[in-house]
Amino acid sequence: MRAALLFFLFLMSAPALAEPFEITHRFGTTRIDAPPQRIVSVGYHEQDFLYALGLAPVGVHEWFGARPFATWVWADAARKAAGAARKAAGAEPQVQRGFEIDLEWVWQLQPDLIVASFAPMDAATYDQLSRIAPVVGPPAGYPDWSAPWQEELRLIARATGRQDRAEAVIADVANVLADTRARYPAFDGATAAIAHVAGTKLVGYGPADGANRFMAALGFETPEEFATLATAAGNFSVSLERIDLFDRDLALWLADAAGRELIEALPAYQASGLAQQGRSVWADEDETGAMSFQTPLSIPWAAQRLAPKFQSALKGAEPD
């Protein structure tokens, strides 16, 4: 009798299974029959979105950085919290390395949901993944790599039943950005160029790129010609001699030590206002990672970390 009573109480307290539903993304419609328990993230930054929603994936795809569990400093606390909430090893996901999606690795993890909202995925790969488990593709209506992070978070939240939490996260990030912008009024209307050093090329980004959206939220403006120069992928590449394209009120350089040394040795850079007036900000490895990831966890961290450096550069003095 006691066992029957305990079983009845368990049934009463257990969350009811949601009705099957569908989500729509760039590759079509995905039916989800039950709340997922084994989520595998095959894109480059989706683990941050899952951790922000309090979810612990069993597998993630490393983009770059070789961080433990493919988790950078800004997301580590959320990763641990998500795993602790399950009282399992979910905070220590398996990691797939390499840029392409390893279909066999995904299959071996036996997922019941695959998150691929920012993934190197074409229609054929989507079809193959869909044979393993339901797949969350990129938000519909946006070119590759250019969907706003808010829409990506909402899509993942819809697939996992975390819509309310997603809206709270979005509001929290918006508050951080608004507070930062209010604290630094010099950002409003200043032009900012973001440059990545790739070998002997400089890579810039169009206004739809996540990093430039981040800068716009702080009040900065992207140079108008960047919209014309950007390819369908959202970026453009020029020779090292085209420092003039990045000679703006502020330049944020995403470069390692070798890249910085290369740029600073260029006569064109030495003659630029960036060098002579100290208007360059050189992101360190974590800051470069955060500006690349552009997630609900990396954005507030980057804002608080970089804003003082931006302020110093606008004043024409390199920060200590």
pLDDT at 318: 43
Question: At 243, is the pLDDT very low, low, confident or very high (cuts 50, 70, 90)?
Answer: very high
**What's the CA angle centered on 187, arms 151 and 74, to 5 degrees?**
50
State yes or no: pLDDT of 57 exceeds 90. Answer: yes
pLDDT at 199: 87
Instruction: Identify the CATH homologous superfamily for domain 17-161.
Output: Nitrogenase molybdenum iron protein domain (3.40.50.1980)
State yes or no: pLDDT of 87 exceeds 50. Answer: yes
Instruction: Please write the tens of the pLDDT for every residue from 251-310.
Output: 999 999 999 999 999 999 999 999 999 999 999 999 999 999 999 999 999 999 999 999
Question: Mean pLDDT, to the nearest integer, of 129-135?
Answer: 98
The CATH code that applies to domain 173-314 is 3.40.50.1980
Question: At 18, is the pLDDT very low, low, confident or very high (cuts 50, 70, 90)?
Answer: low
Q: Enumerate the domain spans of the chain.
A: 17-161, 173-314
State yes or no: pLDDT of 90 exceeds 70. Answer: no
pLDDT at 256: 92
pLDDT at 1: 41
| Main-chain dihedrals φ then ψ at residue 82, nearest 5 degrees | -65, -40
Q: Do domains 17-161 and 173-314 have the same CATH topology?
A: yes
Total-model pTM = 0.91
Question: Mean pLDDT, to the nearest integer, of 164-174?
Answer: 98
State yes or no: pLDDT of 320 exceeds 50. Answer: no
As a whole number of angstroms, the distance between CA 192 and CA 310 comes to: 10
Instruction: Please write the tens of the pLDDT for every residue from 67-84.
Output: 999 999 999 999 999 988
Q: Which residues, 6+ apart, have CB-to-CB distance to 167 below 8 Å?
A: none
pLDDT at 185: 97
pLDDT at 83: 84
- Give percent of the chain with pLDDT exceeding 90: 86
State yes or no: pLDDT of 235 exceeds 70. Answer: yes
